[in-house]
Structure 1
């Protein structure tokens, strides 16, 4: 009888472990401050992660194992528009337009972009990570509404091909069930707007920080996207003019491999909706840094700010 009871208890433990394992596959967790996070891994040109997450506040840990810079952009497409729709109606127009840009024919490029479906302006960019250099990782927190989302990266290969066209696009479904998470407590607070650019409060010292980014407003710029915040470390060889030009994907040499000399991308937050607040984490060493948006001529818009960590 004792043997039967012991066998029964072992079976319960095994079943419990299997159930726990499946839950962790869907909602990975870390012990750091007991926060939940969703792990996303890029090995080459991919997003390896779960298919569904809960709504509300979610923390993503993005691990870039590849040899290219990447970011995560989360899109809300109009109802009924699936990944198949995007591949058939949106990506070809951007690919065609970018090919013309690489040839130096901007008029033909704008004609190609004119082939985007009429509903494309309804697409909402709701968050994601800033640019992250190869072999690095970043953590960001965002508040997501229920429904289907698209995860993408449109950094370009050396030949001008978008990463999204090479496989860096994935559907992510956000459930009605709320995560129950709360936003983290930040020690550096950024406000970004089309009129005042990037401003921040809080002392930027060496060490670990949680940085909040509040979108006072949002604007669609010449490159079809809004402002965001990317954190960049600058070494002695970095040139800010080169960095600024590179941040515009519509520049033939912009948002493309290789990255400008002397810069290392450390994450940040991608496009957010007006009134929303997003968070990212970073560990800073002494050196020179910049916050920069992925917009044309960022410095003229107040969207390039340099600072030094002693």
Structure 2
């Protein structure tokens, strides 16, 4: 994108620098009775079903390519086509994303990784799966063909699915992450409820600090990038519009992590929300240490 910020590009290029890292184990948890939809991310396309039913749906996104990918889902408003949407992104990413309904997705994953996300496809219509991650030359994957439409149709006579039970709720606000006070995050499979209280669209990307690195190293790298990134991508929940909730199915190991939102702000000249303060460290402890 012509107006993509340097900070956002650096954070996504971190995935490319970490390709030699071993893939994480499959991330999963109880689906709460929702339908499961498989989507593959290849270089450079998505493999999606042609049609999905409305309601709470669990998407399992697997990166089967050789580059890092994520999966952002959006619903287009009436009268907007995929071509006009992509043209708008090229002209002004933040303003264009503010015009569509962002319904979530899976955060950035390395090749071989997979993660589930449960989202509510409340309205029928045309949806698009997108990958904003840039290649080594800085070209976003969606500009290379990684944008795939599918239809969401209202299914009659089916039982209404319910979202999964959450172990933790994270509130997204302008511009920060609100976690329950005094909570201890322990290792293992878990479901995070991610609620956007807005008013802007937000995402919850998860990175683990590399061994021996601190938040000071992260801040220094963003000010003056060079050498290996001090963080390792761990997926997370892609952007949702205000009022939307998604459920990220995670499998966390002990260590130091950070939450980050890189969505460009339409009210701050496209600055990524992380540059406006939307970055927060947290720790995952072993179950024995939590007792």
TM range, normalised to the smaller chain?
A: 0.7 to 0.9
**1:278 and 2:246 matched:** yes
Q: 2:196·2:245 contact (CA, 8 Å) conserved in 1?
A: yes
Q: Which residue of 137, 143, 154 corresponds with 1:165?
A: 143
What's the CA shift for 1:306? 2.8
What's the CA shift for 1:238? 4.3
Q: Which residue of 231, 246, 251 corresponds with 2:206?
A: 231
**1:307 and 2:283 matched:** yes
What's the CA shift for 1:275? 1.8
**1:135 and 2:112 matched:** yes
Q: Which structure is larger by alpha-carbon Rg, 1 or 2? A: 1
State the secondary structure of the residue aligned to 1:90: helix
Higher relative contact order (CA 8 A, sep 6+): 2
| Superposition CA RMSD, Å | 3.2
State the secondary structure of the residue aligned to 2:46: coil
What's the CA shift for 1:83? 2.3
Query: Partners in 1 of 2:110 and 2:41 — Cα distance?
Result: 12
What's the CA shift for 1:259? 10
Query: 2:162 maps to which residue?
Result: 182
Note the alpha carbon deviations across 1:276-296, whole angstroms, 9 max, x for none: 211011111122211111143
Query: 1:83 maps to which residue?
Result: 82
- The count of aligned residue pairs is 244
What's the CA shift for 1:135? 1.8
Task: Specify which structure has the higher proportion of strand.
Answer: 2
Query: Partners in 1 of 2:61 and 2:164 — Cα distance?
Result: 17
What's the CA shift for 1:78? 2.6
Segment drifting more, 181-190 vs 76-85: 76-85
Q: TM-score, normalised by structure 1?
A: 0.69
Query: 2:258 maps to which residue?
Result: 290
- Give structure 1 stretches of 5+ with no counterpart: 1-29, 95-112, 220-225
1:199-214 maps to which residues of 2 (within 5 A)? 199-201=178-180, 202-214=183-195
**1:193 and 2:173 matched:** yes
Query: 2:199 maps to which residue?
Result: 218
What's the CA shift for 1:230? 1.0
Q: TM-score, normalised by structure 2?
A: 0.73
Change (3 A) 1:40 1:236: same
Task: Specify which structure has the higher proportion of helix.
Answer: 1
Note the alpha carbon deviations across 1:113-133, whole angstroms, 9 max, x for none: 36x8x9875223222122222
